[in-house]
Amino acid sequence: MLWESIKLALRTIRRNVLRSILTLLGIVIGVAAVIALVTIGQGARDKVASEMSKLGSNMLIARPGAPTPGPPSGSDARSFSERDVEALRNGLADVRSMAASSTKQAKVIYGTASQDTTVVGTEPSYFITQDWVFTLGGTFSESDARSGTALCVIGATLVRELFQGEDPMGRAIRVGAMPCEVIGTLGPKGQSAFGSDQDNTVVMPLRTYQRRIAGSTRIATISVSAASPDVLPKVQAAMTDILRETRKVNPGEEDDFTVRDMTQIAATMSSTTTIMTGLLGAVAAVSLLVGGIGIMNIML
């Protein structure tokens, strides 16, 4: 009986070769889409969680520039001042840590090796705020930050590219035209959500950076790590109020700065993932439906 059923099925398939092939193709596409749906969806969720953990815990980031169309953040927009930073430091509650910083691209040289990198001028609290882990040494002190000492901490990419197995501690590297002593190395974080290498970095005291790298007292970013996720909206609102006051933004006027909650960015990324997952689900459903109709027609 079974053999007769198999022969009947094979004869039916031979009589409807093209329809059978299309039906099989629809089922294959549908099953592949379901597998991709599960794999991509879970992978994207894991990626979002990983990227958010790299940014730091409960992170709020303030940058110059209006949140709506206007001067681009950090370029033509009016930068932050030390007065802005101090007002936030004195006025914010429920904060784990905060740090002001600015960045610039520069060439770093050690011996015959060189690397284009991102130079970060910041405060000692930067490493706590951004959840960096030291593999060797440690951060510069508050007195180093105030005096503008030529000290620096380097990321894993620079350790690999410049020193190639040599111990970097205490070595002098050249950042642009400035010699700088390495006092610490950072553990790897990998690429950011935007594709940049977070480990290709040199971190130095903000005063040192302003005087000897940037030639400007400009502050481009203020990062705040809230004490817990529950207080993020409260801290974000307080940051906005304080900055509006110190930057003399009149009532009714638009902010000339942006305070971003990194969890909101994570939610946006998750939303995009959900849309992609939904589209894949639709492809899978249509493909399986077409395959099912094909099987039904062959059997009739």
Using H for helix, E for strand and C for coil, what is the string for 163-218?
HCCCCCCCCEEEECCEEEEEEEEECCCCECCCCCECCCEEEEEHHHHHHHHHCCCC
| Residue 29 CB neighbour total at 10 angstroms | 17
Q: Checking DSSP bridges between strand 95-110 and strand 172-175, what pairing results, if any?
A: antiparallel
Give the tens place of pLDDT for each residue, 159-184: 999 999 899 999 999 999 999 999 99
Could you tell me how many residues make up the chain?
300
Chain centroid offset of residue 155 CA: 16
Phi-psi bin for 137: left (phi > 0), alpha (psi -120 to 50), beta? left
Q: In this structure, what DSSP letter does residue 117 have?
A: E
DSSP string, 59-74: EEEEEES-SSSSSPTT
Residue % of the chain over a pLDDT of 70: 64
Query: Higher confidence at residue 12 or residue 215?
Result: 215
Give the tens place of pLDDT for each residue, 239-269: 999 999 999 999 888 998 999 887 666 655 5
Using 50, 70 and 90 to split pLDDT, how confident is the model at 191? confident
Q: Is residue 151 classed exposed, middle or buried when 0-12, 13-18 and 19+ CB atoms within 10 A define those classes?
A: buried
- Is the pTM for the entire model greater than 0.75? no
Contacts of 289 (CB under 8 A, 6+ apart): none
Q: How far apart are CA 207 and CA 212, in angstroms?
A: 8
Q: How far apart are CA 184 and CA 155, in angstroms?
A: 9
Give the tens place of pLDDT for each residue, 46-76: 555 555 545 555 889 999 987 654 434 444 5
Contacts of 225 (CB under 8 A, 6+ apart): 56, 57, 58, 59, 60, 95, 96, 97, 98, 128, 129
List the Cα angle 3/7/11 in 5-degree steps: 170
- End-to-end alpha carbon distance in the chain: 20
Q: Using only C-alpha atoms, what is the Rg of the chain?
A: 28
Task: Name the residue ranges covered by the structural domains of the chain.
Answer: 22-52+264-299, 58-263
